[in-house]
Structure 1
């Protein structure tokens, strides 16, 4: 007796891979299977939907254009939304919300210089955490 339907051959669709996406401030990574040829924008959208479905905190929202995906082992540049997720050959990523500048208007109507909220940007945090690891390993 057959308990499941066999899937059709997916030879033309590429390989499926398990990826792990870490969201800054969340309890742990989100893991799901994607096609290697899926666009980064689609992967971000899937990650946000999965994150919301699991009821994770902090609440992120659902607009994938407000987020960028980084690969910690491939440098500090964000992945292009039109790039395929399998292009780098890595499986671990970090999801960050794009920083939005906050501007304050002065009394005469002119814009004052940008004011940032918090002690620093996520890039500074990322570079600082990477440099700590390198320094701590070099000491041995």
Structure 2
């Protein structure tokens, strides 16, 4: 009787996708299954929880509003949190922290010194493409 009830239940709407999310600075991707109709914000939340549960480094925190999800194969723009994860048709994503706004002054009214220039060659996409092109030589 119990088996008949399970068989008669309607199937979940939409297809399920195995997605892979690479966290910038982490050793490897996180993989989990989501419904293609799930919102990007919910996927970011699930990724952060999975990342913390696995004890990965660097520690990211749990505020999903501090992160953006990119699709390296599509555009250079972050995905909208209200977009569905299956709307682009891709399954590989990159999770990055949002850039922090620069502060122009301290609490006591003094102007802070300008931040030191970073020695990076560009955005995460340039770093990602460069790291893929590196070849390991065998001795």
Q: Same fold (TM over 0.5)?
A: yes
Q: Look up the SS of the partner of 1:21 in the other structure.
A: strand
Flag structure 2 segments of 5+ consecutive residues without an equivalent: 134-139
CA displacement, residues 5-61 of structure 1 (integer Å, 9 cap, x when unaligned): 9563315x1111000000011110000000000000000000000000000000000
Q: Residue 105 of structure 2 aligns to a residue in which SS? A: coil
CA distance in 2 between partners of 1:107 and 1:14 (Å): 51
Q: TM-score, normalised by structure 1?
A: 0.77
Gaps in structure 1 of 5+ consecutive residues: 135-140
The alignment of Structure 1 onto Structure 2 pairs a total of residues equal to 130
Quick one: distance in 2 between partners of 1:73 and 1:98? 19
Give the Cα separation in 1 of the matches to 2:42 and 2:23: 16
The structure in which a higher percent of residues are helix is 1
Distance change >3 Å, CA 124–CA 116, structure 1 → 2: farther
Q: CA deviation at 1:99?
A: 1.0
**Aligned counterparts, 1:24-63, within 5 A:** 24-63=24-63
- Map 1:81-100 onto structure 2 (within 5 A): 81-100=81-100
C-alpha separation between the residues in 1 aligned to 2:106 and 2:125?
A: 33
* Residue equivalent to 2:136: none
**Native 8 Å contact 1:103 1:113 kept in 2:** no
